[in-house]
């Protein structure tokens, strides 16, 4: 009798362990996963070695922070969405214009105070690696917040939406820097 009880108990533990592993796999693959920020391209918004949660649900929106597979390297990048498919992007006098409408970038204010001269150089989308007047269908135009030190769509071109892993706005480590980033 004791042997049968132990057998059922072991079987119950094995089922519970299997279910836990399956749930963890499903959650990490399809819903959320952690990422570590590597580099200074998103400063001051994000610091190198910040740990964040990536949400894999939904389409990226303008000014969301996204994680995507680099089209030129075997690593992931983290940048901010500036242009959506069909948008005409231009920077002049350190001001972002989307479809000829000026946009504020409040997440850059702190950095603009520390930089002598313009933070973002003047350019049109055609003058970047995108090479067209508008962001191509099925693509995004992304920039790092630390514009002088960011390898982004200006150099690597528009990012195919299918290369986007997800969006992120939750820093969970270091614990004393935990925050939710509001665009």
Phi and psi of 150, rounded to 5°? -120, 130
pLDDT digits (tens, 9 = 90+) for 40-69: 899 999 999 999 999 888 899 999 999 999
Instruction: Summarize pLDDT for 122-167 with one digit per residue, the tens.
Output: 999 999 999 999 999 999 999 999 999 999 999 999 999 999 999 9
Output 179 or 160, whichever has higher pLDDT.
160
Active-site residue list: 41, 79
The model's pTM is 0.83
The closest of 79, 43, 70 to 167, measured between CA atoms, is 79
The rounded radius of gyration (Å) of the Cα atoms in the chain is: 21
By percentage, how much of the chain surpasses pLDDT 70? Answer: 91
The DSSP code for 43 is T
pLDDT at 142: 97
């Amino acid at each position: 009798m004791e042997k049968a009880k132990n057998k059922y108990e072991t079987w119950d533990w094995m089922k519970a362990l299997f279910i836990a592993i399956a749930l963890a796999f499903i959650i990490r693959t399809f819903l959320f996963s952690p990422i570590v920020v590597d580099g200074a391209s998103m400063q001051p918004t994000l610091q190198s070695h910040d740990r964040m949660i990536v949400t894999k649900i939904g389409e990226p929106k303008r000014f969301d922070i996204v994680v995507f597979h680099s089209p030129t390297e075997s690593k992931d990048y983290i940048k901010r969405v500036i242009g959506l498919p069909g948008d005409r992007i231009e920077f002049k006098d350190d001001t972002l214009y989307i479809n000829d409408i000026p946009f504020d970038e409040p997440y850059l204010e702190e950095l603009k105070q520390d930089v002598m001269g313009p933070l973002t150089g003047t350019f049109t989308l055609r003058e970047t690696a995108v090479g067209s007047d508008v962001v191509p269908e099925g693509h995004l135009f992304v920039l790092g917040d630390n514009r002088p030190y960011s390898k982004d769509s200006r150099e690597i071109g528009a990012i195919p939406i299918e290369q986007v892993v997800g969006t992120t706005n939750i820093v969970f480590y270091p614990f004393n820097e935990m925050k939710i980033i509001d665009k």
